[in-house]
Amino acid sequence: MMFGVVIAAILAAMVLALVRAFAGPSLYDRILAGNSFGTKTVLLIGLMGFITGRPDFLDIALLYALINFAATLAILRFFSYRRSQEEAS
């Protein structure tokens, strides 16, 4: 019950973040929505572990938090390198 309420809230927030990721006018809006979606996925994985009675899922949540942070920085760095190459050519 307790976890069900907050899982519903997080799922609603994830849908809204996806709306912005698809509709976002600029590249950075999409990256922002993706980052926010990833943070909510970490919370969702942890809560799913609690609601199914297997808190071992928290390991996966911790790993996902690491991957999400590295992926956001990697995507930003990728686009900044691509832009500097376009300026050079």
Partner 1 sequence: MIDMFAQFWTDIELLRAIASWACFLFGGLAVISGALGIVRFPDFYTRLHAAGVTDTGGAEMILLGMLLQSPNWIVAVKILFIGAFLFFTSPVATHAIAHSAWMVGFKPLEGRELRYKEGGE
Q: Is 33 helix (H, G, I), strand (E, B) or coil?
A: helix
Question: Least separation, in Å, of the C-beta of 88 and partner 1?
Answer: 16
Question: Least separation, in Å, of the C-beta of 9 and partner 1?
Answer: 3
Q: Are 31 and 17 in contact (CB under 8 A)?
A: no
Task: Identify which of 10, 67, 70, 14 has the alpha carbon closest to the alpha carbon of residue 37.
Answer: 14
The Cα 33–Cα 16 span in angstroms is 9
Of 10 and 89, nearer to partner 1 (C-beta) is 10
Interacting residues toward partner 1 by CB under 8 A: 2-3, 5-6, 9-10, 12-14, 16-17, 19-20, 26, 28-29, 31-33, 35-36, 39-40, 42-43, 46-47, 50, 55, 58-59, 61-62, 65-66, 69, 72-73, 76, 79-80, 83
